């Protein structure tokens, strides 16, 4: 029993152990230097990531509350990977911060919550994981301790996530009322499209909508993204969103197959609204973090197109896209994070003439943005192509036309940043930036991933084979 427990919960236990190590470090009498601490933590995270690829467990625990298999482990590895990249990128910011261990304890707690959420096989377990992954996030948003808007962001975050959790709980309780079970397998058998169940489905989707900031539940996103430290913003927009999408695609997708039709209609409407509104707002943003916030809302709209597909291609394209999204969005956030940590500049105007002073960083940002815009030969092209491809398999071409035209709109605002960096003149551009080698490595990994993941078809084919 004990060995089985240790084996099946390997990923979760690794994170827990790291959290404990950090706790004891904090308790120790001697203060460690921030640099050493960061190096040590990053080594731990690398080990944690590497361990995820060996001895992949399959099985159930706690009377089917918790389950794991190759697909879930892959998803957890993606999240581990994203966390590691963010940790490397925030080196320049954290080395001047007094509370490094606390930051990581909170960060890893949310990660632990996401793991439980992905592995859940019961609505109760799912809710537990969800709460564990949201509450520490609100504290993280407040981590720019001397910034007023950081506290504001934290407050907005906690209010909106409490509200969305409320919706989710209401939905779950109605679902329990109408089916008499919380277990996913039995739930599938009990679902029959009656109006109470549809209502609870609406509530559940609204709850998810808050977490992935889909329109019309997106209003908190921009303010929270702008106010939070860049590291937290990138974590929110990539890892936290990715986790919820993983859960939707690999868990709820299967649970709600009996009500697939209602599911399709709702996701369809949300997807169209999210793409259009996200794009329209992104057009007008000046602050780079807000800009990426709205662009990430639009990206969620594209991901939802893949979710309408209800096929193996749809699910695998969503998971594949999240991998690419980790590379592309973190590449972009990496540059913004380094620039913001060293110069404090965050608006699009500051980036004018960036190419003259920082050609390499400019290319990193440009490649990431092109990948987000879906330009070949970068990975983003493949990701978007497969999402829309899967959506088209359903036969509703109006959605595909809307999505394809939205890609053109989104190209416009990505090109605006490119234009500012490459073409505009600026009297005092951002000076030459010398960052630590760790953020550089992180950016290198992101660019490498963007360049390779699409052309080499291995990643997609592997995900597809897991879902079959």
Partner 1 sequence: MNLSLLIILPLLTALAILPLKASKQVRVVSLVGASMQFILVFILLYFYWNERSSGNTSVMLFENNYPWYAPLHINYHVGVDGISVAMILLTAFVVLAGVLVSWNVEKLSKEFFFLLLLLSLGAYGFFISLDLFTLFFFLEVAVIPKFLLIGIWGSGRKEYSAMKLALMLMTGSALVFVGLLGLYFNTNDGNGQHTFDILQIAQMNIPVSIQKIFFPFAFVGFGIFGALFPFHTWVPDGHSSAPTAASMFLAGISMKLGGYGCLRVATFLMPEAAHQYSWIIIVLASIAILYGAFATMMQTDLKYINAYSSVSHCGFVLLGIGMLTKTAITGAVMQMVSHGLMTALFFASIGMIYDRTHTRQVAQLGGLLKIMPFISTVFVIAGLCSLGLPGFSGFVAEVTVFMGSWQHADNFYRIATIIACASIVVTAVYILRAVGKAIMGPLPLTAEGSPPHLWRGGEVDARWNEKWAAALLIVGIVMIGVAPFWLNDLVTPGTETMMKNIGKVVMLK
Q: Which positions lie near partner 1, rule CB under 8 A?
A: 312-313, 316, 370, 375-377, 381, 385-386, 388-389, 392-393, 395, 397, 400-401, 404-405, 407-408, 411-412, 415, 418-419, 422-423, 457, 460-461, 464-465
**Residue placing its CB nearer to partner 1 in the complex, 5 or 397:** 397
DSSP state of 257: G
Torsion over CA of 416, 417, 419 and 421, rounded to 10 degrees? 170
**Residue placing its CB nearer to partner 1 in the complex, 44 or 367:** 367
Q: What's the residue count for the chain?
A: 468
Smallest separation (angstroms) from partner 1 to the CB of 350: 18
**Residue placing its CB nearer to partner 1 in the complex, 303 or 392:** 392
Q: Rounded to an integer, what distance in angstroms lies between the CA atom of residue 428 and that of residue 30?
A: 43
Tokens of 322: 């999240």
- 17 closest CA partner among 112, 132, 135, 118: 112
Smallest separation (angstroms) from partner 1 to the CB of 455: 9
Smallest separation (angstroms) from partner 1 to the CB of 399: 10
Instruction: Give CA separation, 222 vs 149, 243, 293, 326, in Å.
Output: 12, 20, 6, 19
Smallest separation (angstroms) from partner 1 to the CB of 70: 17
- Given a contact cutoff of 8 angstroms between Cβ atoms, the answer to whether 122 and 182 are in contact is yes
**Residue placing its CB nearer to partner 1 in the complex, 7 or 389:** 389
Smallest separation (angstroms) from partner 1 to the CB of 214: 22
Residues with Cβ < 8 Å from 30, sequence gap 6 or more? Answer: none
| DSSP conformation letters of 8-36 | HTHHHHHHHHHHHHHHHHHHSSSPPPHHH
**Residue placing its CB nearer to partner 1 in the complex, 321 or 386:** 386
**Residue placing its CB nearer to partner 1 in the complex, 62 or 397:** 397
Smallest separation (angstroms) from partner 1 to the CB of 386: 7
Smallest separation (angstroms) from partner 1 to the CB of 133: 31
Q: Rounded to an integer, what distance in angstroms lies between the CA atom of residue 159 and that of residue 50?
A: 36
**Residue placing its CB nearer to partner 1 in the complex, 364 or 392:** 392
Q: Rounded to an integer, what distance in angstroms lies between the CA atom of residue 288 and that of residue 350?
A: 10
């Amino acid at each position: 029993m004990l060995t089985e427990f240790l084996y099946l919960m390997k990923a979760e236990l690794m994170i827990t152990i790291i959290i404990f190590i950090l706790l004891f470090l904090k308790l120790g009498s001697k203060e460690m230097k921030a640099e050493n601490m960061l190096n040590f933590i990053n080594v731990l995270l690398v080990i944690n990531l590497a361990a995820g690829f060996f001895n992949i467990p399959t099985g159930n625990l706690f009377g089917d509350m918790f389950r794991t298999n190759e697909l879930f482990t892959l998803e957890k590895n993606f999240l581990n990977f994203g966390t590691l990249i963010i940790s490397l990128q925030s080196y320049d910011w954290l080395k001047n911060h007094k509370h490094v261990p606390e930051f990581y304890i909170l960060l890893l707690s949310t990660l632990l919550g996401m793991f439980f959420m992905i592995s859940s096989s019961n609505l109760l377990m799912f809710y537990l994981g969800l709460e564990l992954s949201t509450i520490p996030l609100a504290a993280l948003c407040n981590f720019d301790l001397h910034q007023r808007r950081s506290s504001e962001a934290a407050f907005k975050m906690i209010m909106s996530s409490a509200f969305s959790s409320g919706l989710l709980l209401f939905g779950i309780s109605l679902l329990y009322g109408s089916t008499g079970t919380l277990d996913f397998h039995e739930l599938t058998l009990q679902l029959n499209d009656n109006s109470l169940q549809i209502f609870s489905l609406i509530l559940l989707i609204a709850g998810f909508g808050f977490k992935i900031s889909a329109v019309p539940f997106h209003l908190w996103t921009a303010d929270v993204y702008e106010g939070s430290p860049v590291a937290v913003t990138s974590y929110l927009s990539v890892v936290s969103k990715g986790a919820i999408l993983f859960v939707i695609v690999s868990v709820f997708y299967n649970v709600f197959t009996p009500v697939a039709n209602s599911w399709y209609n709702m996701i369809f409407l949300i997807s169209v609204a999210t793409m259009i509104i996200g794009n329209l707002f992104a057009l007008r943003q000046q602050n780079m973090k807000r800009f990426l916030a709205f662009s990430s809302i639009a990206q969620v709209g594209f991901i939802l197109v893949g979710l309408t597909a209800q096929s193996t291609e749809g699910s695998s394209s969503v998971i594949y896209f999240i991998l690419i999204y980790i590379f592309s969005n973190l590449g972009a956030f990496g540059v913004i994070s380094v620039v913001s940590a060293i110069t404090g500049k965050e608006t699009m105007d500051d980036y004018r003439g960036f190419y003259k002073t920082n050609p390499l960083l400019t290319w990193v940002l440009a490649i990431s943005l092109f990948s987000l815009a879906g330009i070949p030969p970068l990975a983003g092209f493949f990701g978007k192509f497969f999402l829309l491809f899967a959506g088209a398999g359903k036969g509703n071409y109006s959605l595909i036309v809307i999505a394809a035209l939205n890609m053109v709109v989104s190209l416009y605002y990505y090109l605006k940043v490119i234009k500012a960096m490459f073409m505009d003149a600026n009297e005092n551009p951002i000076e030459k930036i010398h960052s630590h080698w760790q953020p550089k490595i992180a950016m290198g990994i992101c660019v490498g991933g963007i360049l390779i993941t699409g052309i080499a078809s291995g990643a997609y084919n592997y995900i597809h084979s897991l879902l079959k």
